[in-house]
Amino acid sequence: MPTVHIEAKKEDIAKRVLMPGDPNRARYIAMKYLEDARIVNTLRGEFAFTGKYKGVDVTVFSSGMGIGSMGIYSYELFNDYDVEYIIRIGTAGSYDKDLKLYDLLLADSVYSKTYFDEEAGHENVEIINSSFDLNSVIMDTARIKNIKLKIGRVHTTESFYTENKDYSKFIELGCMAVEMETYALLFNAKKFMKHATALFTISDNLITHDEIDSISREKKLDEMIYLALESIIKK
């Protein structure tokens, strides 16, 4: 049954979901990688496509930007559509000068100083672990496919534009990179006892100030996409 935010029928959403932030990236992935891809959601401009990857049903569903948007969509996918596995695939800014553009980073945990946890679940938790099960599959797949993969904690921020350029606190907390959605995804996975993780392509380095352009953010992330697809079909 459709929700306030998702118009898809329950049977139109697969148990395995990849979640890019950008609707255009969702379309790109579906058109390039999925067989018999069909669009199942356009409501509020968040595109979802379901098709087959190597014979396995997969949905690619854009999350939009920020904790609030990811919080809504991951909640409804887990709770209303019985999704079991979600891999967020996105870009992140590096806090480490040795974590360079286009490097792949798998989140083993996420840190955030947000009120989302208290308002959504009446608890106070700043660090949440990713799914060990999903991460093990992704690491094994990367090894088999000879894909270089770094693993570490990410920082989910609620403010993209910030005047505070002192990242030392986040580095001391073990954060290797910053992004805007993973905390909400892992919070909801924990809440509903589902499996979720996040896989990133480094799009900019906040220490060296290197960055990739907007077109590359949409269409030159294929190594990450391929790894996520090859991994999620094993679940």
CA-angle at 57, arms to 56 and 58, nearest 5°: 110
Question: Domain residues for 88?
Answer: 10-232
Does residue 3 lie within any of the structural domains? no
Q: What's the mean pLDDT in 204-230? A: 86
Residue 73 lies in a domain: yes
Whether 32 is covered by a domain: the verdict is yes
pLDDT at 218: 62
Which of helix, strand or coil describes residue 212? coil
209 within some domain: yes
Cα dist. 124→32, 116, 118, 178 in Å? 41, 9, 6, 20
Reported as a single tens digit per residue, the pLDDT across 117-176 is 888 887 889 999 999 999 999 999 999 999 999 999 999 999 988 888 889 999 999 999
Question: CA-to-CA distance for 65 and 210, rounded, in angstroms?
Answer: 22
- Please, are residues 217 and 22 in contact by the beta-carbon 8 Å criterion? yes
The Cα 235–Cα 56 span in angstroms is 10
Write the pLDDT tens digit of every residue in 96-116. Answer: 988 999 999 999 999 999 988
Per the structure, the count of domains in the chain is 1
Enter the tokens of residue 8.
């898809």
Is residue 143 a part of any domain in this protein? yes
Tell me if 17 sits within 8 A of 76, measured CB to CB: no
In tens, the pLDDT along 27-65 reads: 999 999 999 999 999 999 899 999 999 999 999 999 999
Q: Please tell me the number of Cα atoms within 13 Å of 217 on its side-chain side.
A: 16
Rounded to whole angstroms, what are the CA distances from 29 to 45, 121, 222? 16, 33, 9
> Is residue 4 one of the residues assigned to a domain?
no
As given in the structure block, the two tokens for residue 235 are 């679940």
Please indicate, yes or no, if residue 1 is contained in any of the structural domains. no
Task: Assess if residue 166 is contained within a domain.
Answer: yes
User: For residue 17, what are the contacts with CB-CB under 8 A and spacing of at least 6?
Assistant: 58, 59, 60, 61, 77, 83, 85, 86, 87
pTM greater than the 0.85 cutoff: yes
Active site residues: 204
Quote the tokens at residue 69.
């948007």
Q: What pLDDT shows up at residue 219?
A: 62
Each residue's pLDDT tens digit, 57-92: 999 999 999 999 999 999 999 999 999 999 999 999
Query: Whole-number mean pLDDT of the chain?
Result: 94
What's the CATH number where 190 sits?
A: 3.40.50.1580
